């Protein structure tokens, strides 16, 4: 019995042992899973995250690359485009497939070889960054082109990052500044010349006066004094007008609303004397417009133009001045036209220059139209004169965009 | 030297300056006659005998032109250029007489083949001696082509 009991015990033990060996297997399996599969899973999860992060970073970089307002491309050593951002694709109106692999020279410069100034060619020679400012006809503007070298991991030069930056606006501002500077230089030149002239007259005629006084030549003394007087008057007029010119930009009265027809009427009143003396017929257009600006300055425009029109009427048997406004979509053009002596084509730009006078017997010092142009420019406008030539009358046309309110 | 009257065409917009030149040439007592025109257009009209100057008796061909630069209507440099570009006029010596001593005016004037360039001095005696020197050289010594 004991044997049998012992046998039973042994069996049970074995069974339990066997059973526990199964459990051991299970445990071993679980350990295996823990040791190999969990890290694998972790690895896979991490990899997935890394790939995602990479994708996000790539997309971010791509978006950054694409949203740059500059035209950016990566060029290889053969001047071929490897990558191009969206701005470049859009500006050149080409998709990526059409762009990639193209030669920069053909695409941008529309020629088979690169231009002399090509910064990329310079970079390929010396491995340094380069920058050039050029006008690019294909993009209709001025651009600054800069290149930065690109190297591979082995340190070999593979190409460049090629950035085309639009400088058209800056260039325009610079050109405008240059034009203004030139105008100022021209003005200083004219002023110093025109002030020198009466000075010569003073000194010379004072010299004559001394001689004539000692010779008691009364007739000549009178003449000498006359010349000195008129030179002094001219100098005074010059200085007064110069002062007035300098005030145009500085003293601006508060802007007020005034209609074109009110301005025209007021300006006509100011020159009424000359108009009736010259029997000039004046026609004012029916079209009207509300303006806003320094009333006194705006008035000076019409006053000066009307004054000129009357002054340069010549011996026209039926003198006529027409003033008005043409309201067109996008631009409102004012005009003061006459059928007077007209202006030869070669003088048409000259009339706006300071101290330029078409006729020195007309009185004044030749600053009227310079002043008119200056006021018009203050209101963002421009003025030009049209005349078929001498004897054909003249027509001054100008715009005042910053003074024009909505159409009435 | 001059059997008939030698004509000086003065192109000067400032009447006072024209008077200064006239007074100085008067003293010279050479057989010259100064004709003064007030602007560039009048100078060209005179030289081409147009408009007010169409009568050759009243507008004899000048032997020399004394030309100011800053002139109404047509600029002095333009007048000079036109004279020197015209085969019928280019023999007439053109002497610039101006207040401008600017480098660009001087260069331009010689580019357009001015024969001489004089700057009006501000000082009375200097202006007088300049015009005396001008008379002594251009109206006395200088030999002119037969026209």
Over its length of 408 residues, how does chain A's per-residue pLDDT go in tens digits? 455 666 676 666 656 655 667 788 888 888 887 888 888 888 999 999 999 999 999 999 989 989 999 999 999 999 999 999 999 999 888 888 888 898 888 888 778 888 888 899 999 999 999 999 999 888 889 999 999 999 999 989 999 999 999 999 999 999 989 988 988 888 887 788 788 889 999 999 999 999 999 999 999 999 999 999 999 998 898 888 888 888 887 766 778 889 999 999 999 998 888 888 888 999 999 888 899 988 888 999 999 999 888 888 887 889 999 999 998 888 899 999 999 888 877 777 778 776 665 554 444 556 788 889 889 988 889 999 998 877 788 999 999 988 876 544
Report the DSSP pairing between strands B64-67 and A71-76: unpaired
| Residue B145 domain-assigned (yes or no) | no
C-alpha to C-alpha distance for A361 and A239, rounded to whole angstroms? 19
Residue B117: domain span: 6-136
Kindly list the residues of chain A whose beta carbon comes within 8 Å of any beta carbon in chain B: 189-190, 193-194, 196-197, 199-201, 203-208, 223, 227, 230-231, 346-347, 350, 355-361
Sign, CA dihedral A228-A229-A230-A232, equals positive
Q: Residue B72: which of A199, A230, A360 has the nearest Cβ?
A: A360
| Residue B147 domain-assigned (yes or no) | no
Residues of A in contact with B120 (CB under 8 A): 200
Q: Residue B99: which of A200, A347, A355 has the nearest Cβ?
A: A200
**Which pTM does this prediction carry?**
0.62
Residues of A in contact with B13 (CB under 8 A): 360
Q: Residue B38: which of A203, A231, A360 has the nearest Cβ?
A: A360
What CATH number is associated with residue B44?
Answer: 3.40.50.2300
Report the DSSP pairing between strands B32-37 and B6-11: parallel
Number of domains in chain B: 1
C-alpha to C-alpha distance for A284 and A297, rounded to whole angstroms? 20
| Residue B143 domain-assigned (yes or no) | no
| Residue B132 domain-assigned (yes or no) | yes
| Residue B141 domain-assigned (yes or no) | no
Burial class (CB in 10 A: 0-12, 13-18, 19+), A35: exposed
Query: DSSP letters along A259-272, please?
Result: EHHHHHHHHHHHTH
| Residue B73 domain-assigned (yes or no) | yes
| Residue B52 domain-assigned (yes or no) | yes
CB contact under 8 A, B16 and A227: yes
CB contact under 8 A, A200 and B122: yes
Among candidates A134, A100, A141, which has minimal Cα distance to A115?
A134
First to last CA, chain A: 129
Question: Tell me, what's the ipTM?
Answer: 0.86
C-alpha to C-alpha distance for A179 and A182, rounded to whole angstroms? 5
């Amino acid at each position: 019995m004991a044997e049998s009991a012992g046998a039973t015990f042994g069996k049970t033990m074995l069974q339990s042992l066997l059973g526990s060996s199964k459990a051991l297997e299970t445990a071993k399996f679980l350990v295996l899973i823990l040791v190999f599969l969990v890290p694998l899973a972790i690895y896979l999860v991490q990899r997935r995250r890394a790939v995602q992060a990479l994708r996000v970073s790539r997309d971010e970089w791509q978006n950054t690359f694409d949203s740059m307002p500059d035209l950016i491309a990566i060029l290889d050593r053969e001047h071929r485009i490897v990558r191009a951002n969206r701005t470049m694709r859009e500006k050149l109106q080409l998709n990526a497939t059409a762009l990639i692999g193209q030669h920069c020279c053909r695409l941008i410069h529309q020629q088979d070889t690169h231009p002399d100034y090509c910064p990329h060619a310079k970079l390929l020679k010396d491995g340094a960054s380069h920058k050039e400012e050029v006008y690019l006809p294909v993009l209709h503007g001025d651009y600054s082109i800069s290149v930065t070298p690109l190297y591979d991991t082995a340190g070999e030069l593979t190409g460049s990052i090629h950035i085309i930056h639009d400088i058209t606006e800056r260039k325009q501002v610079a050109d405008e500044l240059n034009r203004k500077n030139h105008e100022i230089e021209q003005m200083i030149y004219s002023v110093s010349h025109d002030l020198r002239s009466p000075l010569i007259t003073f000194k010379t005629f004072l010299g004559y006066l001394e001689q004539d006084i000692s010779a008691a030549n009364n007739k000549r003394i009178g003449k000498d004094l006359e010349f000195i007087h008129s030179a002094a008057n001219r100098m005074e007029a010059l200085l007064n007008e110069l002062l007035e010119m300098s005030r145009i930009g500085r003293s601006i009265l508060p802007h007020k609303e005034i209609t074109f027809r009110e301005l025209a009427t007021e300006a006509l009143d100011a020159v009424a004397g000359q108009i009736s003396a010259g029997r000039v017929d004046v026609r004012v257009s029916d079209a009207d417009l509300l303006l806003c600006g320094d009333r006194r300055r705006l008035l000076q425009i019409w006053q000066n133009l009307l004054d000129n029109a009357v002054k340069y009427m010549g011996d026209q048997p039926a003198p006529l001045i027409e003033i008005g406004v043409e309201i067109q979509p996008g631009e409102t053009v004012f005009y003061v036209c006459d059928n007077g002596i007209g202006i030869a084509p070669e003088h048409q730009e000259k009339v706006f220059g300071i101290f330029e006078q078409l006729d020195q017997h007309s009185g004044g010092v030749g600053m009227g139209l310079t002043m008119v142009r200056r006021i018009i420019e203050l209101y963002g406008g421009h003025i030009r004169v049209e005349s078929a030539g001498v004897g054909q009358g003249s027509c001054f046309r100008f715009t005042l965009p910053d003074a024009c309110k909505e159409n009435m | 030297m001059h059997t008939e009257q030698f004509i000086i065409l003065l192109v000067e917009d400032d009447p006072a300056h024209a008077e200064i030149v006239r007074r100085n040439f008067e003293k010279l007592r050479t057989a010259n006659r100064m004709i003064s025109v007030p602007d560039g257009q009048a100078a060209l009209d005179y030289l081409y005998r147009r408009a007010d100057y169409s009568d050759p008796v009243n507008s004899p061909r000048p032997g020399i032109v004394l030309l100011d630069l800053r002139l109404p209507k047509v600029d002095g440099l333009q007048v000079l250029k036109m004279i020197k570009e015209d085969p019928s006029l280019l023999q007439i010596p053109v002497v610039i007489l101006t207040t401008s001593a600017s480098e660009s005016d001087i260069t331009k004037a010689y580019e357009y083949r001015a024969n001489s360039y004089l700057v009006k001095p501000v000082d009375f005696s200097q202006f007088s001696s300049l015009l005396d020197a001008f008379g002594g050289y251009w109206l006395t010594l200088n030999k002119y082509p037969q026209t």
